[in-house]
Amino acid sequence: MPKETILVVDDERLVRWSLQQKLEQWGYHVSLAEDGATALGRAQLDNPDLITLDVKLPDMTGIEVLSELRKRNVHVPVIVITAFGVVDDAVQSLKLGAYDFIEKPINFEKLENALRNALETRRLRTEVARTHEIQRSEWSVDHFIGVSDHVREVIELIRKLAASEASTILIQGESGTGKDLVAHAIHCESSRREGPFYAINCAAIPESLMESELFGHEKGAFTDARSQKRGMFEMADGGTLLLDEISEMNLGMQAKLLRVLEGQSFRRVGGVKNLSVDVRVIAASNRNLEEAVRSSRFRQDLYFRLAIIPISLLPLRDHKEDIPPLLDHFIRYYNRRFHKNIQHLTKEAEDLLMNYDWPGNIRELRNAIERVMILAEGNRVAAKYLPIRISEGGSLPVPLGEGSENGGIRLPGGGISLYEVERELIRQALEQSRGNKTLAAKLLRITRDTLRYKVKKYRLE
Ligand X SMILES: Nc1ncnc2c1ncn2[C@@H]1O[C@H](COP(=O)(O)OP(=O)(O)OP(=O)(O)O)[C@@H](O)[C@H]1O
Give the interface with ligand X as residue ranges (CB under 6 A): 143-146, 151, 173, 175-181, 286, 326, 329, 362-363, 366, 436
Window 331 to 390, contacts with Mg ion (CB under 5 A): none
367 touches 325 (CB < 8 A): no
Asked whether the beta carbons of 79 and 114 are under 8 A apart, the reply is: yes
By beta carbon distance, the residue nearest Mg ion is 180
Q: How far is the CB of 301 from Mg ion (least distance, A)?
A: 25
Rank residues 254 and 433 by Cβ distance to ligand X and give the closer one: 433
If one counts every other C-beta atom within 10 angstroms of the C-beta of residue 185, the result is 24
SS (H, E, C) the chain: CCCCEEEEECCCHHHHHHHHHHHHHCCCEEEEECCHHHHHHHHHHCCCCEEEEECCCCCCCHHHHHHHHHHCCCCCCEEEEECCCCHHHHHHHHHCCCCEEEECCCCHHHHHHHHHHHHHHHHHHHHHHHHHHHHHHHCCHHHCCCCCHHHHHHHHHHHHHHHCCCCEEEEEECCCCCHHHHHHHHHHHCCCCCCCEEEEECCCCCHHHHHHHHHCECCCCCCCCCCCECCHHHHCCCCEEEEECHHHCCHHHHHHHHHHHHHCEECCECCCCCEECCCEEEEEECCCHHHHHHCCCCCHHHHHHHCCCEEEECCHHHCHHHHHHHHHHHHHHHHHHHCCCCCEECHHHHHHHHHCCCCCHHHHHHHHHHHHHHHCCCCEECHHHCCHHHHCCCCCCCCCCCCCCCCCCCCCCCCCCHHHHHHHHHHHHHHHCCCCHHHHHHHCCCCHHHHHHHHHHCCCC
C-beta closer to ligand X: residue 79 or 440: 440
Q: Which of 46, 180, 350, 370 binds Mg ion (CB under 5 A)?
A: 180
User: Which CA distances in Å does 5 have to 13, 55, 90, 151?
Assistant: 19, 20, 24, 47
Q: Which residue's CB is nearer to Mg ion, number 179 or number 299?
A: 179
Judged by CB, which is closer to Mg ion: 9, or 283? 283
> How many C-beta atoms surround the C-beta of residue 199 within 10 A?
17
| Minimum CB distance to ligand X smaller for 48 or for 173 | 173
Residue 284's DSSP bridge partners are 171
Angle at 162 between CA 157 and CA 165, to 5 degrees: 110
Residue 444 CB, shortest distance to ligand X, in Å, is 17
The least distance separating Mg ion from the CB of residue 283, rounded to whole angstroms, comes to 12
Compare residues 162 and 242 and give the one whose CB is closer to Mg ion. 242
Q: How far is the CB of 232 from ligand X (least distance, A)?
A: 18
Q: Which is nearer to Mg ion, 6 or 313 (CB)?
A: 313
- Minimum Å distance from CB 201 to ligand X? 8
Using CB distances below 5 to 8 A depending on partner kind, what does residue 254 bind out of Mg ion, ligand X, none?
Answer: none
When the beta carbons of 54 and 244 are compared against ligand X, the nearer one is: 244
- Could you tell me the maximum CA-CA distance found in the chain, to the nearest angstrom? 85
Query: Considering CB distances under 5 to 8 angstroms, the limit depending on partner class, which of Mg ion, ligand X, none binds residue 175?
Result: ligand X
Instruction: In angstroms, give the least distance from the CB of 182 to Mg ion.
Output: 10
CB nearer to ligand X: give 30 or 241.
241
Select from 98, 110, 87 the least CA-distant residue to 52: 98
Report the residue number whose CB is nearest to ligand X: 178
State the nearest-atom distance from the C-beta of 283 to ligand X, in Å.
Answer: 12
Q: How far is the CB of 180 from Mg ion (least distance, A)?
A: 4
Query: In the complex, what is the shortest distance from the CB of residue 349 to ligand X, in angstroms, rounded to a whole number?
Result: 19
Which of the listed partners (Mg ion, ligand X, none) does 23 bind, with a CB threshold of 5 to 8 Å by partner kind? Answer: none
Residue 224 CB, shortest distance to ligand X, in Å, is 29
CB-wise, 157 or 221, nearer to ligand X?
157
- In the range 88-127, which residues lie near Mg ion by CB under 5 A? none
Minimum separation from the CB atom of position 370 to ligand X (A)? 10
Binding partner at 280 among Mg ion, ligand X, none, C-beta below 5 to 8 Å by kind: none
Q: Is 68 in the site for Mg ion (CB under 5 A)?
A: no
Q: Which does 170 bind (CB under 5 to 8 A by kind): Mg ion, ligand X, none?
A: none
92 binds, among Mg ion, ligand X, none (CB under 5 to 8 A by kind): none
145 binds, among Mg ion, ligand X, none (CB under 5 to 8 A by kind): ligand X
Tell me which stretch binds Mg ion (CB under 5 A): 21-29, 116-124, 177-185, 319-327.
177-185
Q: Which CB sits closer to ligand X, 19 or 331? A: 331
Residues that bind Mg ion (CB under 5 A): 179-180
